Amino acid sequence: MSIPIDISERRGVRYLHFGSEWIQGAMRIRRPADLELAYTREMMAGLLFHEPPWPRSALVIGLGAGSLVKFLRHHLPACRVQVVEIEPRVLAAARQFFALPAEDDHLSIAIGDGAEYVVDHGRRFDYILVDGYDRHARAGTLDTLPFYLACRQRLTDQGLLAVNLFGRSRGYHASLERLIAAFDDRMVAFPSCDSGNVVAFGAAGHPLTHDLASLRRASQALKTRTGLDLADTVSRIEAAGTLPGGRLVL
């Protein structure tokens, strides 16, 4: 059965819903390339860990309102972006209501199962961003150990996986255990934001080490380049005490 697609607007923001109260995407109408939802901003926190021109390539699984895609295309135009979305009507809604850019040499969109795509395609990516949920906030095969292992195989030597986890779900801690197993403990989960979403990162290839001072400097540089302000994210990480010795090691 196909999912119902609903569009709503409030105070200059347009929202995407899959037949429920859960918000699946949002766009500030006057600034369509901005990341309106807190968790989408934090999914871009990988930009704190690497300097430009990283990422040169990105795989986005789960299109939603196209927020991640629009940010990448607007602020990192040299990045080659591959999108995989399982529901054709989500793609149609993103094009009609959420200013999704047209496909070109740097943007390709495939309709299909994201987990199958990762297994079946040999291409490797600097950044894999996973944000796939159904109308009941279930991730299905996109939250399994085989999928995370397959993602690790598709990352470059500077590769990062970013996953949006619904932190209020009873399966949240099991999701973290699967990521820990898939990435040999080279992962970090940010403290949950107001919506209850938790963004987790898994690293492959070359080791990454950052102290809080370097993360703050990277945050300021990122804000200058793109307008994306992750200073609050860095402060929340510090307050949560989740970085042993005040250092992020991936």
Active site residues: 131
Place of tokens 């095969």: 141
Q: Indicate the residue type of 142.
A: L
Q: Contact at 8 Å (CB) between 71 and 57?
A: no
What is residue 200's three-state secondary structure? strand
Q: Indicate the residue type of 227.
A: G
* Other Cβ atoms closer than 10 A to 4: 11
Instruction: Please give the structure tokens belonging to residue 174.
Output: 């099991």
Instruction: For residues 106 and 140, give the distance between their C-alpha atoms in angstroms, rounded to a whole number.
Output: 29
Residues sharing a CB contact under 8 Å with residue 80, sequence separation 6 or more, in sequence order: 56, 57, 58, 105, 106, 107, 108
Sign of CA dihedral 27, 30, 34, 38: negative
Instruction: Please give the structure tokens belonging to residue 199.
Output: 């963004």
Distance of CA 117 to the CA centre of its chain: 17
Structural element, H or E, at residue 185: none
Sign of CA dihedral 99, 104, 105, 111: positive
Place of tokens 């300021």: 220
Residue 67: name the closest of 142, 124, 13, 138 by CA. 13
Q: Contact at 8 Å (CB) between 233 and 221?
A: no
